[in-house]
Amino acid sequence: MKILVAVKRVPDWQLKLKLLADGSGIQTDGVKWILNTFDEIAVEEAIRLKEKGVASEIVLVSIGPADMRARLEYALAMGADSAILVKHDGPVDSDLASRVIAEVFKRGSYGMILMGKQAIDSDSNQTAQLVAARLNLAQACFASKVVIEGPNALVTREIDGGLETIKIPMPCVVSTDLRLNEPRYAALPNLMKAKKKPFEELSLEALGVSPQLKLEVRRLSLPPVRKAGRKVADVAELISVLQNEAKVF
């Protein structure tokens, strides 16, 4: 079974973000790009399925500018087999990403599409579901366990209030949650070897996908800053302010 893993790059969440003065975007000069945390988990899961002998080949797909290649090479160094970069310099919304991934899926014979449940920049949590609906496939979102059983995938999902395990026919779309696995680090020698793995560049035009967006980000702003409160001297004072000032109990 071939697995298609969709990945995106995001600014490193450990660094503080700065807005452009006009609020039209974030400052990308000097931003350190990383693989989206949840997508990295998807890459790791695909590699584990391959190590178990369930998956035969892992193909990465991403949409973005040419320098996205470095992030794809990192995922190749983790253990993916080949990568497809759909080159696009403009903004991408969930709708456009889903149309690209669905189109790439149609060009291969994949048993599963894996991707993070959300990108930690736009936090939309839509792309996996959109792809599944476009292709009329079953979906299992927010996965914390994935087991392949014959023609079906058994996926445990993290839902409000508990865990639910569903059995869905393949091909299917699975979106990964934080608990699914702990991604490995790509070793340096593998990073060198990754540069020699098959790497295909495509354009939106070649895929027949329109760059038209449906969601336009008009302005970005920083949320109101919380002002630091005050220090209390001891437990008794803390109890007193919680009861009398904050009135929380």
Partner 1 sequence: MGKILVFIQHDQGRILKGSLVALTAARQLAAAWHCEGLVAVTLGPGAQVAANEASSYGFSTVRFSEAALFERYRAEPYSRAIALASKELGADCIVALASSTGKDCLPRVSVLLDAVQASEVVAVNSDGTLKRPMYAGNILADVQLAAGNRVVTIRGTAFAPATKEEGGSCEVQELHLAGDPELYEQPRFGEIVSYEQSKADRPELSDAAVVISGGRALGSAENFEKVIFPFADALGAAIGASRAAVDSGYAPNDWQVGQTGKVVAPSLYIAVGISGAIQHLAGMKDSKVIVAINKDPAAPIFEVADYGLVADLFVVVPELTVAIKNAKGA
Site for partner 1 in 83-112 (CB under 8 A): 93-95, 98
Q: Which residues contact 178 (CB under 8 A, 6 or more apart)?
A: 37, 38, 41
In angstroms, what is the minimal distance from the CB of 158 to partner 1? 6
Contact predicate 121/92, CB 8 Å:
no
Q: Is 82 in the site for partner 1 (CB under 8 A)?
A: no
Site string for partner 1, 47-76 (x = CB under 8 A): ------------------------------
Nearer to partner 1, 206 or 242 (CB): 242
Q: Looking at beta carbons only, is 62 or 139 nearer to partner 1?
A: 139
* CB burial of residue 226 (10 Å; 0-12, 13-18, 19+): exposed
Which residues, numbered 14-53, are part of the site for partner 1 (CB under 8 A)? 14, 16-17, 19, 26, 37-38
Q: How many CB atoms lie within 10 A of CB 122?
A: 19
Peptide bond into 65 cis (omega under 30): no
Q: Kindly state the helix (H) or strand (E) to which residue 229 belongs, with its residue range.
A: none
Spatial separation of the C-alpha atoms in residues 67 and 185, rounded to whole Å: 20
Binds partner 1 (CB under 8 A): choice among 52, 65, 164, 206: 164
Can you spell out the DSSP letters for 38-83? HHHHHHHHHHHHHHTTS-SEEEEEEEE-GGGHHHHHHHHHHT--EE
Q: How far is the CB of 27 from partner 1 (least distance, A)?
A: 12
Residue of 159, 187, 192, 206 that binds partner 1 (CB under 8 A): 159
Taking CB under 8 A as the criterion, the residue among 48, 87, 134, 193 binding partner 1 is: 134
Site for partner 1 contains 142 (CB under 8 A): yes
Q: Residue 122: how many CA atoms within 13 Å on its side-chain side?
A: 19
CB under 8 A: which stretch of 42-50, 71-79, 82-90, 167-175 binds partner 1?
167-175
Query: Is residue 211 within 8 Å of 100, Cβ to Cβ?
Result: no
Q: Quick check: 145 binds partner 1 (CB under 8 A)?
A: no
Q: Which of residues 204-223 bind partner 1 (CB under 8 A)?
A: 213-223
- Which amino acid is it at 126? Q
- Which segment (48-56, 70-78, 197-205, 237-245) binds partner 1 by CB under 8 A? 237-245
